[in-house]
Every structure is written in structure tokens, then in C-alpha cells.
Amino acid sequence: MIGRLNHVAIAVPDLAAAAAQYKGALGAEVGAPQNEPDHGVTVVFITLPNTKIELLTPLGPASPIAGFLEKNPSGGIHHICYEVADIEAAAARLKAEGARVLGAPKIGAHGKPVIFLHPKDFTGTLIELEQA
Ligand code: CO
């Protein structure tokens, strides 16, 4: 069911510093910061030849990644995103498999519907599925 790796998301305490490091030391193609108020994050996308890296930092007081950064103050891998052809079909299949789907599909940072799957059901990794 899952297709390409769409992105790996890394939560960071200082978005400007992380973006500068990817651009400078790592020589990557780094985009401009985008506020995603519906998701409580500001993101910077880094385009690699085969996938993207999404740098995330909290936006607003109730950001879902604030707790993660408290536990991982220097940042860390927050989730990975796989592409699926049909988000509703994917959610139905996963629920039937007994996986916890976190909420209903929402429009994600790329303007496409996404869902998240509970990390405890997937080897400790928060998984995002994005309709390709
Ligand atoms: Co993501």
C-alpha cells in the first residue's frame, strides 16, 4: 500500500540555525520558512534528489511538537511520511488492522490530505501518510 518516502521530519529548537546548517555545511537546497497554523508548526523544506527533509519548529503555545522538543532539546527525528494513493482507503485499512489512526484526514503542508499513525503501533515511529 505505501509508496515513496515523501519526507523525513526533524523537530528543531532553532529553525533558522538548522536551515543555515543544511544550506551551508550540507550544501542542500533549502526553502523559505512556512507557517502552518493548523498544525502548530513552522516548517522549512529541504529538497533532496530522492526525497525531502522537513525541519519543524513549534508555532504557537499549543504546538504538538513542544513536548517532543522538551524531551529532545537539541532536536530529533519526529516522523516519516510515506505516500499512499487514497488516504480514506488507507485509513480504513489501517483501522481494520487494529492500528490507531490519529484523527481524520487533514490538509498537510503540501496541500494534500494527511493522517498520522500512533508510534506505539509502528515500532516507535510516528508515521504520516500523504495522499500522493
Ligand atoms: Co510531515
User: How many angstroms separate the alpha carbon of residue 128 from the centre of ligand 1?
Assistant: 6
- 28 contacts 46 by C-beta, under 8 angstroms: yes
Domain ranges across the chain: 5-131
Which residues of the chain have a pLDDT value below 70?
none
CATH fold label, 5-131 = 2,3-Dihydroxybiphenyl 1,2-Dioxygenase; domain 1 (3.10.180)
Report the pLDDT value the prediction gives residue 93, as an integer from 0 to 100: 97
Report the pLDDT value the prediction gives residue 60, as an integer from 0 to 100: 87
Give per-residue pLDDT as tens, 56-66.
Answer: 999 988 898 99
Report the pLDDT value the prediction gives residue 5, as an integer from 0 to 100: 98
User: How many angstroms separate the alpha carbon of residue 59 from the centre of ligand 1?
Assistant: 15
Q: Which residues are catalytic?
A: 128
Give the gyration radius of the chain's Cα atoms. Answer: 15
User: How many angstroms separate the alpha carbon of residue 25 from the centre of ligand 1?
Assistant: 23
